[in-house]
Copies of this chain bind each other. A is one copy, B any other.
């Protein structure tokens, strides 16, 4: 009996989940639920499509719903609502609002005897786990998170809103010198500007004032003003050819000291280099959907995060096999 997974929301992330469900031996796709007209959607693998409003009708046929909407407006409403009927997993990533989201979701899930796993992905998600493990192992230390090289959708959108800009892509790039200083164990204090730089590729309207666009980008508060930013004007063809992917990744590094005189230095580093941010996030979601299903089968309920999941629940093989093959 495979774990039956439903997808709620069919953008890049939903498509990634569709592929990831296919790639795992113990999961199968029940279908895709959407706000759009289901008949208008052609899925990658031929999965069935349904109206999101009718998802409750399939309450007994779905083991886990993976929510693939956005953190700004979709998930704060959808996750607590769907947790009333299903085990759910989401990738809620608005850090400041996680405690509130947790409480809302926890209430629904507990009442329904379901597991609702929130903020699953790579950051929050795998990076959070690595921050936790590293902090537990090296209590005397400092940790550092670097993002990139990768496309930031939020920053790309901010550039696109500038007058005269037809299209834009923004890469967040960690600065090598900062990474090396951290890896050396020096525990440096690093300013925002010292950790990351920003590189923009912009397609401008014919006749647009490129100097003005460049200046508006570089001085944009919050998004760019605190960083060294490079702006490259390119053609629509170059954009399509060279910047159509959504790569991302980054580094979590902790350096700390042990010993009676604290003289021994240790560096723990975790890094991701991802060709596709949504496809990798989707793969994380599916692994934790498996865990949510197993934990619920054992009688657990309520809101959970990656911190609450015994790692063995993430694999489709038995505890004995895991110990034998992986320990």
Residues of chain A having any CB pair with chain B under 8 Å: 15-16, 19-20, 23-25, 44-45, 95, 98-99, 102, 119, 124, 126, 128-133, 135-140, 183, 258-260, 263-276, 279-280, 282-284, 287, 290, 305-312, 314-315, 319-320, 322-324, 326-327
Contacts and interface: CB of A to CB of B under 8 A. Distances in A.
Given A136-B290, A265-B275, 9 more contacts: A130-B270, A131-B326, A132-B322, A266-B275, A268-B271, A305-B323, A307-B322, A307-B327, A311-B311
A256 to B, nearest CB: 8
A263 B130 CA distance: 27
B327 A139 contact: no
Contacts of A98: 323-324, 327
A311 B314 CA distance: 13
A226 to B, nearest CB: 23
Contacts of A128: 326-327
B99 A323 contact: yes
A258 B119 contact: no
A220 to B, nearest CB: 28
A327 B305 contact: yes
Contacts of A279: 258-259, 264, 266
B308 A312 contact: yes
Nearest to A18: B260
A267 B3 CA distance: 27
Contacts of A308: 310-312, 319
9 contacts: A19-B259, A24-B139, A124-B327, A132-B312, A258-B282, A266-B274, A307-B310, A307-B311, A307-B322
B269 A136 contact: no
Contacts of A140: 23
Nearest to A137: B283
A276 B305 contact: no
Contacts of A136: 287, 290, 311, 314-315
A287 B138 CA distance: 9
Contacts of A327: 95, 98, 119, 124, 128, 305-307
A258 B280 contact: yes
A319 B102 CA distance: 12
A266 B24 CA distance: 16
Contact of A320 (B99, B135, B266, B322): B99
Contact of A19 (B15, B99, B260, B274): B260
A276 B63 CA distance: 46
A99 B324 CA distance: 7
Contact of A266 (B99, B138, B270, B280): B280
Contacts of A322: 132, 307
- Interface centre among A25, A119, A130, by most chain B C-beta atoms within 10 angstroms, is A130
Given A275-B265, A310-B308, A315 B258 contact: no
A252 B187 CA distance: 24
A263 to B, nearest CB: 8
